[in-house]
């Protein structure tokens, strides 16, 4: 189970990478392996405003539909267009090519409860 | 895959009289529009009658069916379909009746529909039923459109509908399709509706709540009257998803519990055929205040006999081209008349007994989702087998096929990990139930001793594990001349 140390996480299994170009969001290796093969990603509209914890979009696997929740408040700046034809990128490379959206955080600076990698790993171990 | 499509069989020039030519001569080609005329004949397969018969008989032998063996699909109520119902439905007076027949249709068939509607109303403690909806999901849609019509008619078009987190996916989908915003209500530790959570979700924008009772875990919602009270006090309506009515039929009436609108599944509780033997039928029943909105036509009785009533000013309209699955309603009518009130009580009693017997025996090795008595179905979790032995609910299900059983519902409800939902129904003998128990116990032993047997199961079926991802992404259900070869999509 690959949980990268340089990222922040949410209790709903999103990862967050803050950068100059905004906050990039995806789902963790744990989440993608629980979902199994993702067959469809319903990407959101660019410009949509989100509150922390709000549903960004849906991921469909053969097993279930799961939602990706916004770790920070802001507007959708970009979506990973490759996922339209290649949703499996989320399974293959959840932290890299499988990124889902980039959010431009708004001035409120509001975020969901963000966990450091070690704390997130802890939640995976105790959930049981 | 070695199975050939019919297009890959036969030989040019072979003919069969299997398809009877029409009794009336076809129209002259000159009478048809030029755009409808073919340039060359269609590429139909050319086989002898014997080859056609072998092909389809062979396909039928690959099927599992409730007439072949035990089919414990949770929430589907795969009970035996009485042959008498099939025989009656084949009488030409019913079978060949035409819905557009002058005079309003055959009196006998209309009377059957009328009496079926009366019997369902009695069984549910409700005022009126429509037989129109084509199956459960359309019944749900009908019900939610009635809810919307009621609120709109009162000048109070409320927008939210509450659905428990254990609900069948059709419930929120239906509510969304009917134009509502869906709020999910969490379940309590006991697996039933969390009353405190429910109170927090209620507002004056609440159109209603959609509930199944017993719920999808097979648990009776003991607080159902309180739930109905909370929703009614807020001005909302309470919808009953009748998927699990087999646990209550003849004993409890949804109307008495406080439900305003109900859909039933004739193909579940009332023993009409499922799926390919169907179609289904999802009649919807209502309390008196919702009657004006029912879809048309309704069958009414008048001085001149039975007729279809089309003029109902507040109706939501038609759910179906004609009157619904009429011959299915006929089968349900035969079923109810055959059993009578006492027989229907036996149905729910035996269904609940059979489920508890299986639960008791299987809980020795599999973890039940909740302790204690269940109703007509129960959920087991294979999470312990997954964590300790690497064997998942999917593997158990596939191995059951090798042992001669249709697997139970799996991975539903979503609130239970590695779920297997088992519903035996009341029409299985103790020998069958014991054989199923033995198979499940054997699989549990195999999980401990030889798990690979399970990972690669089924070993003795026409197909093994399908590539479900490819089936979703590269779905091809239409044969074309160039699609032969490697596994035809």
Which helix (H) or strand (E) covers residue B286, if one does? strand B284-286
Task: Give the pLDDT mean for B39-46.
Answer: 89
Percent of chain B with pLDDT over 90: 79
CA-wise closest residue to B351 among B428, B403, B404: B428
Task: Give the pLDDT mean for A115-128.
Answer: 86
Report how far residue B198's alpha carbon sits from residue B230's, in angstroms, rounded to the nearest whole number: 8
Which helix (H) or strand (E) covers residue B210, if one does? strand B206-212
Average pLDDT, chain B: 93
Tell me how close the Cα of B414 comes to any Cα of chain A, in angstroms: 9
Question: In A, which residues are within 8 Å of B468 by CB distance?
Answer: 37, 62
Instruction: For residue A99, tell me if it sits in a domain.
Output: yes
- Would you state the pLDDT for residue B413? 87
- Would you state the pLDDT for residue B489? 37
Q: Are B369 and B191 in contact (CB under 8 A)?
A: yes
pTM here is 0.87
Question: In B, which residues are within 8 Å of A91 by CB distance?
Answer: none
> Tokens 């030989």 correspond to what residue?
B11
Tell me how close the Cα of A26 comes to any Cα of chain B, in angstroms: 21
- Would you state the pLDDT for residue B486? 44
Instruction: For residue A123, tell me if it sits in a domain.
Output: no
- Tokens coding B403: 């042992």
Q: Are B247 and B375 in contact (CB under 8 A)?
A: yes
- Would you state the pLDDT for residue B26? 83
Instruction: For residue A25, tell me if it sits in a domain.
Output: yes
Contact state of A62 with B473 under an 8 Å Cβ cutoff: no
- Would you state the pLDDT for residue A80? 97
Question: In A, which residues are within 8 Å of B414 by CB distance?
Answer: 64
Asked whether residue B488 carries a pLDDT value surpassing 50, the answer given is no
- Would you state the pLDDT for residue B415? 85
The C-alpha angle with vertex B407 and arms to B276 and B398, in degrees rounded to 5, equals 115
- Tokens coding B279: 């179609």
Q: How many domains does chain A have?
A: 1
Q: Enter the ipTM.
A: 0.71
Question: In B, which residues are within 8 Å of A63 by CB distance?
Answer: 411
- Would you state the pLDDT for residue B99? 80
In sequence order, the 6+-apart residues with CB closer than 8 A to the CB of B16 are: B47, B48, B49, B52
- Would you state the pLDDT for residue B278? 67
Per residue in B294-315, pLDDT (tens digit) is 999 999 999 989 989 999 999 9
Full residue range of the structural domain in which residue A17 is found:
8-117
Nearest residue, CB atoms, A39 vs list B411, B414, B472: B472
Flag whether residue A67 sits within 8 Å of chain B, measured between CB atoms: no
Domain ranges in chain B are 6-61, 83-338, 344-470
- CATH number for the domain formed by residue range(s) B83-338: 3.40.640.10
The two domains B83-338 and B344-470 share their CATH topology (first three levels equal): no
Task: Give the pLDDT mean for B304-327.
Answer: 92
User: Which CATH number fits the domain that encloses residue A87?
Assistant: 2.40.50.100
Instruction: For residue A124, tell me if it sits in a domain.
Output: no
Average pLDDT, chain A: 93
- Would you state the pLDDT for residue A127? 65
Percent of chain A with pLDDT over 90: 87
- Tokens coding B486: 């490697």
> 3-state class of A74 per DSSP?
strand
- Per CATH, domain B344-470 is 3.40.50.80: no
Task: Give the pLDDT mean for A36-40.
Answer: 93
Flag whether residue A39 sits within 8 Å of chain B, measured between CB atoms: yes
- Would you state the pLDDT for residue B487? 42
State the Rg of chain B over Cα.
25
Per residue in B411-466, pLDDT (tens digit) is 988 889 999 999 999 999 999 999 999 999 999 999 999 999 999 999 999 889 98
| pLDDT-wise least confident of B140-144, B262-266, B468-472 | B468-472
Asked whether residue B485 carries a pLDDT value surpassing 50, the answer given is no
């Amino acid at each position: 189970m690959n949980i990268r140390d340089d990222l922040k996480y949410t209790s709903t299994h999103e990862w967050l990478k803050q950068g100059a170009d905004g906050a990039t969001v995806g789902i963790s290796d744990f989440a993608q392996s629980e979902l199994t093969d993702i067959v469809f990603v319903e990407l959101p509209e660019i410009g949509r405003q989100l509150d922390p914890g709000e549903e960004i979009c849906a991921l469909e696997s053969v097993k279930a539909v799961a939602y990706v929740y916004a770790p920070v408040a802001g507007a959708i700046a970009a979506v990973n267009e490759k996922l339209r034809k290649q949703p499996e990128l989320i399974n293959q490379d959840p932290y890299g090519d499988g990124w889902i959206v980039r959010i431009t955080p708004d001035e409120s600076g509001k975020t969901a409860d963000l966990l450091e990698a070690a704390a997130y790993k802890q939640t995976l171990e105790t959930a049981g | 895959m070695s199975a050939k499509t019919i297009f890959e069989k036969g030989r040019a020039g072979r003919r069969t009289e299997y398809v009877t030519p029409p009794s009336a001569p076809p129209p002259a080609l000159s009478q048809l529009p030029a755009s409808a005329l073919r340039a060359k004949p269609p590429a139909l397969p050319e086989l002898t009658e014997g080859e056609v018969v072998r092909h389809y008989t062979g396909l039928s032998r690959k099927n599992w069916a409730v007439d072949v063996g035990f089919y414990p699909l949770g929430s589907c109520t795969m009970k035996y379909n009485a042959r008498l119902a099939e025989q009656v439905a084949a009488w030409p007076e019913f079978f060949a009746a035409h819905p557009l027949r002058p005079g309003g249709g055959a009196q006998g068939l209309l009377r059957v529909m009328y009496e079926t509607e009366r019997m369902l109303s009695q069984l549910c403690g409700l005022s009126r039923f429509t037989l129109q909806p084509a199956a459960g999901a359309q019944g749900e849609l009908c019900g939610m459109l009635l809810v919307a019509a009621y609120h709109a008619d009162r000048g109070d078009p409320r927008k939210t509908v509450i659905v428990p987190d254990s609900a069948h996916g059709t419930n929120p989908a239906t509510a969304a399709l009917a134009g509502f915003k869906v709020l999910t209500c969490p379940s309590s530790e006991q697996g039933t509706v969390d009353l405190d959570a429910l109170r927090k979700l209620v507002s004056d924008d609440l159109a209603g709540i959609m509930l199944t009772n017993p719920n999808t875990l097979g648990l009776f919602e003991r607080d159902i009257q309180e739930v109905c009270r909370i929703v009614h006090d807020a001005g909302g309506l309470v919808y009953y998803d009748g998927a699990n009515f087999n646990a209550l039929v003849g004993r409890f009436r949804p109307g008495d519990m406080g439900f305003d609108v109900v859909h039933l599944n004739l193909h579940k509780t009332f023993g009409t055929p499922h799926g390919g033997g169907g179609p289904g039928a999802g009649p919807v029943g209502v309390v008196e205040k919702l009657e004006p909105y029912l879809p048309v036509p309704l069958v009414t009785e008048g001085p001149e006999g039975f007729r279809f009533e089309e003029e109902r000013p507040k109706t939501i309209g038609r759910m179906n081209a004609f009157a619904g699955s009429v011959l299915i309603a006929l089968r349900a009518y035969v079923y109810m008349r055959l059993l009578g009130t006492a027989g229907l009580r036996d149905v729910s009693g035996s269904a609940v007994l059979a489920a508890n017997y299986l639960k008791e025996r299987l809980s020795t090795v599999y973890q039940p989702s909740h302790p204690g008595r269940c109703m007509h179905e129960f959920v087991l979790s294979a999470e312990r087998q997954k964590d300790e032995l690497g064997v998942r609910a999917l593997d158990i299900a596939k191995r059951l096929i090798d042992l001669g059983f249709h697997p139970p519902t799996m991975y539903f409800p979503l609130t239970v990990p590695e779920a297997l939902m088992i519903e035996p129904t009341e029409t299985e003998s103790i020998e069958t139930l014991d054989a199923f128990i033995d198979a499940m116990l054997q699989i549990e032993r195999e999980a401990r001793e030889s798990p690979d047997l399970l990972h690669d199961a089924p070993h003795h079926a026409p197909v093994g594990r399908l590539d479900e991802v490819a089936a979703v992404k590269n779905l091809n259900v239409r044969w074309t001349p160039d699609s032969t070869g490697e596994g035809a999509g």
